[in-house]
Amino acid sequence: MKIKSLFIAAQEKNAGTLFVSMGMMEILKRNIHRVAFFRPVISSKNVKDGDISFILGRYNLDMRYEDAYGFDIEYVENMIALHKTDELMNQLISKYKKLEKEYDFVLCEGIRRSFISNTINYDLNIKIAQNFGSPYINIINAKESTVQEVYESILIENENTVCEGCTHFATFINRLDDEKYAQLQEKLKNYKVTTYLLKEIAELNMPTIEDVMEALDAKPVILGAEDHTRIIRHVKVAALSLNNFLEHIEEDDLVVVPADRSEIILGVLGALYSNAYPNISGIIFPLHMPAHPNIQKLVLGLDGFKIPVLSVETDTYETAKNLSKVHSRLRVSSERKIALAHGLFNASVNTKAIEEKIANAISNVMTPMMFQYQLFEKARSNKKRIVLPESSDERILRAAEIILLRDVADIILLGKELDIKANYMRLGLDLSKATIINHLDSTLREEFVNLFFEMRKEKGLSHQAAEDTMTHVNYFATMMVHLGYADGMVSGAIHSTGDTIRPALQIIKTTPEVSVVSSVFFMCLKTKVLVYGDCAVNQDPDAATLADIAIASAKTALSFGIEPKVAMLSYSTGDSGSGADVDKVREATKIAKIKNPNLLIDGPIQYDAAIDKQVASAKLPNSKVAGEASVFIFPDLNTGNNTYKAVQRSSDAVAIGPVLQGLRKPINDLSRGCLVADIVNTVAITAIQAGQNL
């Protein structure tokens, strides 16, 4: 059966429909180019549907909001009341078929349980799926049910789906506690229908600072760019004296305190800087009352102050009452919750089996999002230990949390445990699953110093110098990778490229088949991914070095699922030009062919002839690379660096890298201007490289 759509529907309220839709959408988006999202029925045409807005925004779907739904609930109820159900169904089918024709795949999300009334029967979801020809995914909320009730629901739902002529794709049992999970797993061990069990994660249901701001129309007094996503576990009203109130604060509290209670404000801030007290998530002032100017001055002058402060117009009692009604909402900007959700989904669901079921819809197109999601999946499927030596940098900590929440890799941080823990908790992060090693007093230190001394003593290194060298986090981290205590290292957020590469060259060294460390960028264009090398390391490589760069880049491309067709770039194509620069490229091409006879490589070749089939047919008609190149090797750093930046800026391409290649074990460098997303991608790439080095 050719699957071009799926239909997701929940049996109960608060079952996590968006959670499952998000998990399925990530699988689809890493395999299929054009995916549409469709909700047959929404609550109102005057208020934008939250799930549609989220999916369209999060996954950059190329479709209008108006095309992503059928009709609002009022229209549907009227049609059913007028006994025009068949006409309604035909109208829905017409809207769906339009999407099916224009897109490679359509993910449908059914009618909300809260919409269902005496007029609208729950079976309408199944009838719609049946008429769409969509395999059916049903979700069961297990939170308020016994194991036996959940088990019976699974059987009833599956039987109902099959009896109505729908194809059952999978059943998701959501919001299970540990005990129910174990019991249900035992109960279903001989059940043949595809069923996935998902545990309850409390944080996914906790409101954030942004939820509070939206629900209470709270105004920011102090608010950092990253503070919106801080979670709130509890709300505490500061009605006691400071001495007594400090006994009651807990981790991730939102503290409601009148702005004139200066002693409470200062006490809470003091707790923030103390290792003896929990870290609150924020402070909220009732009645829009400002703090005393001296208190404001003191707070704003605190180095590293990270706690958000909000104000609302209601009094303390009303504010506390309103806060009790704030619900968690998943937003496009909720990177932390999204990472946590994907981590749970991927850990609980056989994504490979789902990909096999939809394999007929998979295309050869590769978008930036598809490539990035494939990176996460490849890394997650063969999880490695990546050491991040720059633990003092906030971006590193935020990226580390995302990696851990998505279960992409295990993270090792270097530094003093108390300092690192205090920093990430003040940021509202959870890095409890990371391993922290103090490189200055680690039990590994003596081993590393002695080995480094033996490796470098012939070059004049003294034992004392070896000890001094191992105090540098990059050297310590590189030695961890060399000896297998970690599988890869990512650095460069606060260190230079030289500081990252030098230890690798001295300790890890290059692979036997290449003579030089080089780099590539993955250039993610609109519908394909190209490999550019070397755009970051080697300034003016000679012919032999250029050949090694080409071979290493082809190997890197292949390891990330890109068929290598290597273009050795120059300002002339074939035999049309001459000169030292062209001759260097021509010689490098010959050397690469001798070293690797099976490699598809051609050069010298101009960029237009390498990428455009029409130009290639005129300039190099018999080439197997021209017009189809996937790996582009630039003759020098000046050309490569400027070209990748020009392509990145002028075509909105996503440039992932630089990715270092040629080392025996993976070490990767970051730009000092890197974003959190850049670090996450680089860690995933490093983990994949580590898996391929075994």
Domain containing 10 — which CATH number?
3.40.50.300
pLDDT at 370: 80
pLDDT at 272: 81
As a whole number, mean pLDDT of residues 262-280 equals: 86
| Tokens representing residue 626 in the block | 């021209």
My answer on whether 489 and 602 are in the same domain is no
| Tokens representing residue 234 in the block | 């509890």
My answer on whether 672 and 618 are in the same domain is no
What digits encode the pLDDT tens for the residues 207-260? 999 999 999 999 999 888 888 989 999 999 998 999 999 999 999 999 999 999
My answer on whether 185 and 257 are in the same domain is no
- Among 174, 203, 232, the domain-final residue is 203
My answer on whether 552 and 599 are in the same domain is yes
Is residue 539 one of the residues assigned to a domain?
yes
Q: How far apart are CA 438 and CA 340, in angstroms?
A: 27
As a whole number, mean pLDDT of residues 671-682 equals: 90
Is residue 357 one of the residues assigned to a domain?
no
Buried/exposed 434-460: b ≥16 CB within 10 Å, e otherwise: bebbbbeebeebeebbebbbebbeeee
Is residue 354 one of the residues assigned to a domain?
no
My answer on whether 38 and 181 are in the same domain is yes
CATH number at residue 584: 3.40.50.10750
My answer on whether 26 and 171 are in the same domain is yes
Please provide residue 291's backbone torsions phi and psi, each rounded to the nearest 5 degrees: -70, 160
User: By residue range, what is the domain housing residue 65?
Assistant: 5-203
My answer on whether 248 and 369 are in the same domain is no
What digits encode the pLDDT tens for the residues 320-344? 999 999 988 888 888 889 999 999 9
Q: How far apart are CA 521 and CA 543, in angstroms?
A: 21
Cβ atoms of residues 670 and 679 within 8 Å? yes
CATH number at residue 312: 3.40.1390.20
Reply yes or no on whether the pLDDT at 153 is more than 80. Answer: yes
As a whole number, mean pLDDT of residues 165-189 equals: 91
Distances (CA, A) of 233 to 208, 250, 271, 324, 372: 9, 9, 17, 11, 32
Q: How far apart are CA 552 and CA 515, in angstroms?
A: 10
Is residue 113 one of the residues assigned to a domain?
yes
Is residue 334 one of the residues assigned to a domain?
no
My answer on whether 175 and 31 are in the same domain is yes
Q: How far apart are CA 556 and CA 523, in angstroms?
A: 13
Reply yes or no on whether the pLDDT at 444 is more than 80. Answer: yes
What digits encode the pLDDT tens for the residues 598-617? 999 998 999 999 999 999 98
- Among 187, 203, 219, the domain-final residue is 203
Q: Which residues contact 453 (CB under 8 A, 6 or more apart)?
A: 461, 462, 463, 466
- Among 188, 203, 218, the domain-final residue is 203
Q: Which residues contact 598 (CB under 8 A, 6 or more apart)?
A: none
What digits encode the pLDDT tens for the residues 106-150? 999 998 765 555 555 557 888 888 889 899 999 999 988 899 999
Residue 668 — pLDDT band, cuts 50, 70, 90? very high
| Helix/strand/coil for 324 | coil
Q: pTM of the entire structure?
A: 0.84
Is residue 344 one of the residues assigned to a domain?
no
Is residue 329 one of the residues assigned to a domain?
no
Q: How far apart are CA 319 and CA 20, in angstroms?
A: 34
3-state helix/strand/coil string of 113-179:
HHHCCCCCCCCHHHHHHHHHCCCEEEEEECCCCCHHHHHHHHHHHHHHHHHCCCCEEEEEEEEECHH
pLDDT at 269: 84
Question: Which range (11-15, 21-25, 199-203) has the least confidence?
Answer: 11-15
Is residue 341 one of the residues assigned to a domain?
no
Burial of 74 (0-12, 13-18, 19+ CB in 10 A): exposed
DSSP label at residue 284:
E
Average pLDDT value for the chain: 90
Cis peptide before 604 (omega within 30 of 0): yes
CATH number at residue 416: 3.40.50.10950
Q: Between residues 304 and 31, which one has the greater pLDDT?
A: 31
My answer on whether 432 and 316 are in the same domain is no
DSSP label at residue 7:
E
Q: How far apart are CA 389 and CA 489, in angstroms?
A: 8
Cβ atoms of residues 196 and 170 within 8 Å? yes
User: How many domains is the chain partitioned into structurally?
Assistant: 4
My answer on whether 140 and 245 are in the same domain is no
